[in-house]
Amino acid sequence: MEFRSTRGAPERVGFSTALLQGLAPDGGLYVPVEWPAFTIKDFDGATSLPEVGERLLAPFAVGDRLESQLAAILRDAFSFPAPRHLVPGSEADGGLEVLELFHGPTAAFKDFGARFLAACFEWLRDSREPTLNILVATSGDTGGAVAAAFHRRAGLAVTVLFPKGLVSPTQQRQLTCWGDNVRSFAVRGTFDDCQRMVKEAFVDEVLRAHQQLSSANSINLGRLLPQAVYYATSGLEWWRTRGSKLSFIIPSGNLGNAVACIWARHMGLPIGDVLLAHNANQTVPDYLATGTWQPRASKATLASAMDVGHPSNMERLRDLYPEIDTLHGAVTAVSIDDAAIEARVRTDYARFGEIWCPHTAVGVEAWARLTPEARRSQKWCVVSTASPAKFPETVEPLIGGKVTVPPSLAALLDRPSHHEEIGSTLTHLRSALG
Ligand SMILES: *Cc1c(COP(=O)(O)O)cnc(C)c1O
């Protein structure tokens, strides 16, 4: 399988090159040249995440160095479950399904993609070359997931950039508790600044001259493709037991998680509608409403991991659906403000006893705003992107109590923390990486 850039450069690369490069040389994002087409029968007998993943991702790795390792990599990456459940008490409103993607080491869905990528890089690393440095811009969860996935892997290093003061204290501790091969920088700027610095670093001759750089942001195909696996697995399971397609509501920022779902559906997996639930950063809902693409500076919200004003993966979505009309047929989007997030966390704790993280609350609020007919005409599943225990500062005052911290997360929060502060230009990053 070959991959091309969304920006139209003629060159084609294989799977591992796409992973190692992160971003295409013309600044675009890698997408498959052709799509595999699956039928449901192709997955007969495959029920677990690694089993479904092996069949779903095999065509992408055909002829690549990673082909023979794919099964082992998937078992390593998908070593924890992605359970789905019906929210008890929601039946009268059409029944709300929730897919929990937060049972990994850093309690957010990004563990899946980060672990897949780390396992791939460990196989791909050339021991004769200098350390492969993974640059990652994070609005909160990416950095922790990537750091956890790459920590202490030989020949690999991680540089985390996060916006100073714009991640929660609990998140910051997860970004800065690693040491060893992981360095963390608080950037005096926004997440968009961090993302721009990473993009600039990749095309910077000075840095590239003495460093092997790669990315682990959701722009990396190796983060995005494995995320299609849980949608495929969950969609198949629903189809087999209920004979209908499951529709997903996805709390979205940079659109990596959503594009993975849309890709899975595009390849033939039984997935119904996709509703993008954004916070007050409403670039995507506005685009769908007006047809004008107007990226803007990101705004700080309670769902901080979704504070993205210029979602990178829109480029992949528009590559798949270049016409606004076909895009309208493929996704819908809503924007939910902080007041509604708070109200949703409070209400659903009282009503259902469920504790949502602020990001998941955006998705659940989007579900609650559907018309009763829309809620009953098909089955909706909200993707729960993180454990509420990652955001105690926000959640605990709303529920008037403590959130139980999963043991793996508690262990991370106990580690000593260290980071450096830098300005928001490429020059600052160059000297920091020295
Ligand atoms: C990253 C993240 C999101 C947004 O995912 P994208 O792939 O950037 O759209 C939502 N919720 C949480 C908890 C996250 O960490």
- Best residue among 306, 315, 345, 364 to mutate for probing ligand 1's pocket (most ligand atoms within 8 Å of CB) is 306
pLDDT confidence tier of residue 279, bands split at 50, 70 and 90: very high
Strand order in the sheet with 212-215: 212-215, 132-137, 156-163, 182-187, 420-422
Query: What's the CA-to-centroid distance between 258 and ligand 1, angstroms?
Result: 9
- Identify the burial level of 154 via C-beta atoms within 10 angstroms of its C-beta, where 0-12 means exposed, 13-18 middle and 19 or more buried: exposed
Which pLDDT belongs to residue 217? 74
Residue 268 has pLDDT above 90, yes or no: yes
Ligand 1, atom 15, residue with closest C-alpha: 141
Residue 325 has pLDDT above 80, yes or no: yes
Amino acid at position 408, single letter: S
User: Distance between CA 298 and CA 281 in Å, rounded?
Assistant: 6
Per 3-state DSSP, the chain is made up of helix, strand and coil in percentages (nearest 5) of 45, 15, 35
Which pLDDT belongs to residue 131? 83
179: left (phi over 0), alpha (psi -120 to 50) or beta: left
Which pLDDT belongs to residue 413? 83
Which pLDDT belongs to residue 404? 94
Ligand 1, atom 1, residue with closest C-alpha: 305
Residue 432 has pLDDT above 80, yes or no: yes
Which pLDDT belongs to residue 305? 87
Query: What's the CA-to-centroid distance between 327 and ligand 1, angstroms?
Result: 21
- C-beta pairs of 235-238 under 8 Å, 24+ apart in sequence: 235/264, 235/265, 235/269, 235/270, 235/271, 236/40, 236/43, 236/46, 236/47, 236/52, 236/269, 236/270, 237/47, 237/84, 238/270, 238/379, 238/381
Query: What's the CA-to-centroid distance between 224 and ligand 1, angstroms?
Result: 12
- Best residue among 191, 357, 359, 409 to mutate for probing ligand 1's pocket (most ligand atoms within 8 Å of CB) is 359
Query: What's the CA-to-centroid distance between 303 and ligand 1, angstroms?
Result: 9
pLDDT confidence tier of residue 244, bands split at 50, 70 and 90: very high
Ligand 1 site residues, Cβ closer than 6 angstroms: 108, 110, 140-141, 218, 251-258, 305-306, 359, 385-386
Which pLDDT belongs to residue 141? 76
With both helix axes pointing from N to C terminus, report the angle between 221-242 and 110-124 in degrees, rounded to the nearest 10: 130
Give the pair of three-digit tokens for residue 85.
């459940």
Give the pair of three-digit tokens for residue 27.
């600044």
3-state secondary structure labels for all residues of 385-424? CECHHHCHHHHHHHHCCCCCCCHHHHHHHCCCCCCEEECC
Query: What's the CA-to-centroid distance between 140 and ligand 1, angstroms?
Result: 9
One-character DSSP codes across 115-139: HHHHHHHHHH--TTSPPEEEEEE-S
Query: What's the CA-to-centroid distance between 148 and ligand 1, angstroms?
Result: 17
Which pLDDT belongs to residue 218? 73
| Nearest atom (ligand 1) to Cα of 360 | 11
Give the pair of three-digit tokens for residue 55.
């069949």
User: Distance between CA 23 and CA 37 in Å, rounded?
Assistant: 25
Neighbours of 278 (CB within 10 A): 27
The predicted model gives 214-225 an average pLDDT of 87
| Nearest atom (ligand 1) to Cα of 253 | 9
Query: Which of 3.40.50.1100, 2.160.20.70, 3.30.420.480, 1.10.1760.20 would CATH assign to domain 81-107+224-403?
Result: 3.40.50.1100
Report which of residues 154 and 12 the model is more confident about: 12
Q: Quote the percentage of the chain above a pLDDT of 90.
A: 81
- What residues have CB less than 8 Å from 287, skipping those under 6 apart? 293, 294, 314
Residue extents of the structural domains in the chain: 81-107+224-403
Which pLDDT belongs to residue 142? 83
Which pLDDT belongs to residue 328? 96
Strand order in the sheet with 84-86: 84-86, 96-100, 379-384, 246-251, 271-278, 332-335
Give the pair of three-digit tokens for residue 58.
């095999």
| Nearest atom (ligand 1) to Cα of 256 | 7
Which pLDDT belongs to residue 25? 87
In Å, how far are 221, 320, 362 from 385, measured between CA atoms?
19, 24, 10
Q: Which of 27-31, 124-128, 217-221 has the highest mean pLDDT?
A: 27-31
Tens digits of residue pLDDT in 360-414 = 999 999 999 999 999 999 999 999 999 999 999 999 999 999 999 988 888 888 8
CB 84 within 8 A of CB 292: no
Report which of residues 321 and 414 the model is more confident about: 321
Tens digits of residue pLDDT in 353-374 = 999 999 999 999 999 999 999 9
Query: What's the CA-to-centroid distance between 255 and ligand 1, angstroms?
Result: 8
Tens digits of residue pLDDT in 98-108 = 999 999 999 99
Which pLDDT belongs to residue 260? 98
Residue 434 has pLDDT above 80, yes or no: no
Ligand 1, atom 2, residue with closest C-alpha: 305
